[in-house]
Structure formats: C-alpha cells, structure tokens
C-alpha cells in the first residue's frame, strides 16, 4: 500500500503489516483479556463519547434542516456541542501524542509505521477540527440571514465527511493500540 493510500482521507483500514498483534488479539476478545485494564476501558469510552457527540451534532443538524428544531435552540446547542467536541478531541490527541504513543511505540518496533500513521491522522484531524469550528460559526452567523438553511446544510456535509475520517482513525487507532497494551501490559499512568 503506497503512502498516499494510507492518508486518513483515503485509507480503508490498517495494512496487514500493522495488524500483527491485532490478528492474535481481535477486537471481540479484548475485554476478556486479563490485561484489559480500567484505563483501557476509559480510553475506549472516550472514543465512544467522541462518536456519540458527532452523531448528536449530525442528528441536530438533520432535525433543523427538516424543520423539526427551533433555529435558536439548534444554533445554541450545536455551537456548545461542537466547542466541547473540538476541545476534548484536541486534548485527547495531545495526551496520546505526548505521553501514551511515544511510550507504546517503544514496545514493538514492527508498529513504528502505525504510530507514525496515527500521528499523521492527528495532524489531518486538526485541520478538520478547524474546518468544523469554521462551519459551525458560519452556521450560527447564517441563522439570521435570508438563507439560514444553506450554512446548516454545509455544516451537515462537513459533519458527514468528518464522521468518516474520525471513525476510520478511531477504529485503526484502537486496532493498533489495544493489542499493544494487551500484549505488553505496560505501566501506563
């Protein structure tokens, strides 16, 4: 697989060379593994929370576009959720990049390229987070315009694309990181 095919926007999954541990420890076996810690559960729960917030943003935008939600409420709730989402996801990635991933990467050299891939994903997602904040601001500003639905529809399209990228990243990250933790049981704190 060439490097361009591994970018977040084009990747369809981790290449086989990065699935060396995941093959032995597939997703359905993780929670029963003796090395599955409360911290690993918490980390996976954070990922679920990001997916849920994004789903709520999409549902709220769809409801507004369908005429099922008051514009002021939609604007206020969407801005609040988007702000939380952007701040929390950025903070989550910062902790991973600065603390967890450098330590985990030392445990199995076969996965160096995988951690580089996740780092590149974080950089790509930062750009998408900025675009999400901009689209949210445009939606809020557009609520008082002659055409309030167009900026909301643009936000909806952005959320659809972001959901694909985020799900790809989170799934690949989980498939790489959790098997490392279960295999090597590092002291993480």
pTM: 0.93
Give alpha helix (H) positions in 96-148: 101-105, 112-142
* Each residue's pLDDT tens digit, 100-142: 999 999 999 999 999 999 999 999 999 999 999 999 999 999 9
Domains within the chain, CATH numbers bracketed: 34-184 (1.20.120.520)
What is the mean predicted confidence (pLDDT) over 5-31? 92
Q: Decide if pLDDT at 2 tops 80.
A: no
Q: What was the pLDDT predicted at 189?
A: 55
Are 78 and 60 a contacting pair, CB within 8 Å?
Answer: yes
Res. 14 pLDDT band, cuts 50 70 90 = very high
Q: Which tops the pLDDT comparison, 46 or 188?
A: 46
Residue 103, pLDDT score = 92
Higher pLDDT, 24 or 3: 24
In angstroms, rounded to a whole number, what is the distance separating the alpha carbons of residues 167 and 63? 22
φ, ψ of residue 41 to 5 degrees: the values are -60, -45
Distance between CA atoms of 101 and 91, rounded to whole angstroms? 14
Q: Each residue of 37-55: pLDDT tens digit?
A: 999 999 999 999 999 999 9
Q: What is the mean pLDDT of the chain?
A: 94
Residues of the chain with pLDDT > 70, as a percent, come to 98
DSSP reduced 3-state for 146 = coil
Q: Are 132 and 159 in contact (CB under 8 A)?
A: yes
Give kind and range of the element (H or E) at residue 43: helix 38-65
Is 115 within 8 Å of 109 (Cβ atoms)?
no
Q: What is the mean pLDDT of residues 163-189?
A: 91
């Amino acid at each position: 697989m060439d490097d361009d095919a591994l970018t977040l926007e084009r990747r369809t999954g981790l290449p086989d060379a990065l699935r060396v541990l995941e093959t032995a420890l597939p997703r359905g076996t993780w929670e029963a593994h003796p090395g599955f810690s409360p911290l690993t559960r918490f980390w996976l729960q954070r990922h679920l929370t990001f997916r849920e917030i994004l789903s709520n943003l999409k549902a709220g935008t769809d409801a507004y576009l369908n005429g099922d939600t008051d514009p002021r409420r939609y604007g206020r709730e969407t801005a609040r959720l988007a702000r939380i989402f952007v701040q929390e996801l950025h903070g989550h990635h910062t902790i991973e990049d600065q603390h967890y991933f450098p330590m985990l990467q030392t445990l199995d050299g076969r996965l160096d390229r995988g951690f580089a891939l996740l780092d590149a994903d974080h950089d790509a997602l930062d750009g998408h987070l900025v675009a999400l904040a901009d689209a949210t601001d445009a939606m809020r500003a557009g609520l008082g315009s002659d055409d309030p639905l167009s900026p909301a529809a643009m936000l909806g399209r952005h959320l659809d694309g972001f959901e694909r990228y985020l799900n790809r990243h989170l799934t690949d990250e989980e498939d790489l990181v959790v098997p490392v933790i279960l295999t090597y049981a590092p002291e993480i704190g």
